[in-house]
Amino acid sequence: MNRLQNYEIIFEKEFLRIDMAKRQQAGALLPVIPDRVKWDDFLAAVKAEWKTWRSNLERYTYCLAVLYGGLAFYEYDENTFWPQFAKAIGSESLPTSQQTEINLAFSKVAERFGLRLQRRENRTDFVGSAVYHIGIPLSLWDGFLEICEWALWRDDWKILPDKEWVEFVGKRAGSRQRLKKFLIDNREVASALIKEMLDARKILIEDERLTINGLKLRSEYFDEVPETAEFLRPKAPDSLFEDRARLVWNEQRSCISLHLPGIATDKLPATWRIGDRTQKAASTPDELVLNSVAFATSLFLKLESGQQSETQKIKGLKPWGLFDLEIGGRLVSSRRDILPLRNYALISREKIKEISRKGFEEDENPVNESIELQDGTACFITHLWPVEKFAELSLKYDGSISKIRFRTDSKIEARFFIGKRSHAAYFEHLQNSIKIEELPILCVSLPYGYFKNNEVELYKKFKVLIDGKSASGKWRYLPPQENDDKEFCFWEWGSNRPVVEIKHGSMRSFTELRYSTPSLKGERILSVESPEFKDTFKIYKDDPKYGMGKCWANLPGVFLPWFLLCQPTTGMKCEGMKWDDLMLAKDVIAPNLRISYYLLRKYANEGLLEQKGRRWMIKESRATFIPFKQNNCKLEYCGNPSILWGLYRLMYHKIPVNQLPIIEIIEKRGVPPYLQMIWDLSLRGEIERYLKKKGVRICQKLWIH
């Protein structure tokens, strides 16, 4: 029996399980589409038997329906379909006459099976029909997730008038015309899919034991679009992949390996096998080092347990692989045309002749750097470190051109920032709170077009509280900057005393009701709360030291990275910042300055900053004292500027304000920028004690290289 004949029988059984009434619905054919391993095997059978099948396309009617649907699901591109079809049947191209012949056969099959055919401009839209039959193609899934993210914040998304639905979907879908058309033309089905995702998110957040194997969603949505896990379990997306094997790149060890999941004890003993390499399975996660073995088109990982075996197909690194360094070095799908803006490593066995980058750091990261893997395998690496809000990678390999765009997350985010420009460092970490002089900046960033009226919706969604009481003030909307896809709203405090309290005591009438606006000096708890977000900020508000600001007039300047990274990011902690966090902080604190990725790397090379996963953070602060003329000493400092703010407040009480030294930014060839102050020599001991108390390392020189 021919292989296609076998598939015809299999697909017929699967198809007959779909109720006739449901076949007219969008996505009806998706359950019949095979998983990646079986799909590739099916395509191999199609390619081998196409010449005979073409002469009688109605011979394998179920196979024809699945071929159209599978290409729409796995291979669909917004602008093309027939090149993918030609590749599937082993042809370089398909003439128009042959396309017409195949479309005619497909239309007959669709009518016979009760599948709906889409019409556009008085003609049948065959590509649109194929997309309709499977729902959301993999290439559009990341855009669909943005719609789901939007629905999280819109309590009324299910009851929006059709006109508003079209308007908002159009803004969120952007240039993805097929996604836009699907969501508008099939609102009922699209709404059901959105609700399914929102329900799954709720379940997965509440039950941390569940993994993707416990969901109805196809595994391809996770394997090829990791943002799915980030949406469904935002605080711990990796936990959803604990039972999936993943190809990862370890930068420190120069090693490519497979992350192996833990196996249930009732399946042990068991063995992992990939090619001629084997490893005993364990109940805890493990790794299987591959290195040179990884440079294949596909890898087949088999788990053998007794008389049973399970096989997982994993995309290999031929001709190249792109690893996301911010999610553990995991391999991302090479089929994606839009990816999150993060740090990546492009690895190939052979040199890629043409590589073009935009929005990535290039001076310190040349293309096709030669490296040697742990097992001695020679290969090439190109690091992609973003320096802008948007980036693009284009590469040509063996005549095939790939283009990937990178952009920041399309989510609502709320942030605390201590202040603008130099005031961003006007705070000090105390034991249980943060001392500040001014009320902080509260900022909410929204993807463009999220709400019809941002200010009205923000009042509904976000509450600003001080000690649990509503704070007086209003949200101030800033229109998006040119070429920006985000909008910003800032909380404008009503006054320096933004809490209104009713005075207690006896009163004879309502007109005698008296209010007070208490001073905020002392310990307070600030919070911003919404259905999807809550952040609490415990502060100690102190009086400002007037006249001290002139000492900070030169800042932040090129010392900007330190002013961004010192910001408390969660509650009172400094947990570091992802690249898009840095971009957002810059837009708030110093919108006219640029972040230099090159500078971040220079500080990291000196051991002052470090990158853990996706986050940049301050590793240490350093200071050195150098004798200066007369009775002065020079303090050179590189590190957290908020520590200096505490020092200046301390010295404010020791010397007249007009004698506090101006903080200068020093830029010298060969070393990153640092700060310099000239202090009276008699104060050195006290300054040194204070800096050591705050964890600053006092050393003979700032630089280790």
Asked if 559 and 667 sit in the same domain, the reply is yes
Asked if 559 and 465 sit in the same domain, the reply is no
Q: What is the mean pLDDT of the chain?
A: 87
350-367 average pLDDT score:
90
Kindly tell me if the per-residue pLDDT of 243 is higher than 70. yes
Q: Which of 517, 541, 565 is the last residue of a domain?
A: 541
Q: Which of 541, 575, 604 is the last residue of a domain?
A: 541
Distances (CA, A) of 306 to 278, 285, 286, 311, 686: 15, 20, 20, 14, 71
Q: Which of 394, 409, 424 is the last residue of a domain?
A: 409
203-228 average pLDDT score:
81
Residue 516 confidence (pLDDT): 43
Residue pLDDT, tens place only, 589-638 = 998 898 887 899 899 999 999 987 678 999 999 999 999 988 899 999 99
Kindly tell me if the per-residue pLDDT of 500 is higher than 60. no
Asked if 588 and 612 sit in the same domain, the reply is yes
For the ranges 38-52, 302-316, 476-490, the maximum mean pLDDT occurs at 38-52
Asked if 562 and 700 sit in the same domain, the reply is yes
Contact 413, 444 (CB under 8 A): yes
Residue 407 and residue 390: Cα distance in Å, rounded? 5
Range of the domain at 23: 3-135
207 within a domain of the structure (yes/no): no
Asked if 301 and 367 sit in the same domain, the reply is yes
Q: How confident is the model at residue 573 (pLDDT cuts 50, 70, 90)?
A: low
Residue pLDDT, tens place only, 121-137 = 778 888 888 888 998 88
Contact 246, 259 (CB under 8 A): yes
Kindly tell me if the per-residue pLDDT of 509 is higher than 50. no
Sequence-separated (6 or more) residues with CB below 8 Å from residue 141: 221, 224, 225, 228
Residue 513 and residue 389: Cα distance in Å, rounded? 52
184-210 average pLDDT score:
87
513 within a domain of the structure (yes/no): yes
The DSSP result for 471-512, as a single string, is: PPEEEEEEPPPTT--EEEEEEEESSSS---EEPPS--SSGGG
The β-bridge partners of 322 are: 332, 346
Residue 442 confidence (pLDDT): 87
Kindly tell me if the per-residue pLDDT of 297 is higher than 80. yes
Asked if 519 and 630 sit in the same domain, the reply is no
At 430, phi and psi to the nearest 5? -100, -175
Asked if 117 and 262 sit in the same domain, the reply is no
35 within a domain of the structure (yes/no): yes
251 within a domain of the structure (yes/no): yes
Residue 629 and residue 11: Cα distance in Å, rounded? 88
CB atoms within 10 A of CB 279: 15
342 within a domain of the structure (yes/no): yes
Residue 207 and residue 347: Cα distance in Å, rounded? 37
Asked if 614 and 696 sit in the same domain, the reply is yes
Asked if 523 and 651 sit in the same domain, the reply is no
User: pTM for this structure?
Assistant: 0.76
Contact 493, 473 (CB under 8 A): yes
Residue pLDDT, tens place only, 513-547 = 344 445 788 899 888 888 767 778 888 999 999 99
397-416 average pLDDT score:
82
Kindly tell me if the per-residue pLDDT of 672 is higher than 90. yes
Asked if 304 and 355 sit in the same domain, the reply is yes
Asked if 537 and 570 sit in the same domain, the reply is no
Kindly tell me if the per-residue pLDDT of 647 is higher than 60. yes
Residue 513 confidence (pLDDT): 37
Residue pLDDT, tens place only, 442-499 = 888 888 777 777 777 777 888 888 998 888 888 887 766 665 677 788 888 886 666 6
Out of 334-338, 437-441, 641-645, which region has the weakest mean confidence (pLDDT)? Answer: 334-338
163 within a domain of the structure (yes/no): no
187 within a domain of the structure (yes/no): no
Kindly tell me if the per-residue pLDDT of 211 is higher than 60. yes
Asked if 511 and 571 sit in the same domain, the reply is no
What percent of the chain shows pLDDT beyond 90?
46
Kindly tell me if the per-residue pLDDT of 295 is higher than 80. yes
598 within a domain of the structure (yes/no): yes
393-397 average pLDDT score:
90
- Tally of domains in the chain: 4
Kindly tell me if the per-residue pLDDT of 506 is higher than 70. no
176-199 average pLDDT score:
86
Residue pLDDT, tens place only, 16-27 = 999 888 898 888
Kindly tell me if the per-residue pLDDT of 665 is higher than 50. yes
Residue 233 and residue 258: Cα distance in Å, rounded? 23
Rounded to 5°, the CA angle 442-448-451 comes to 80
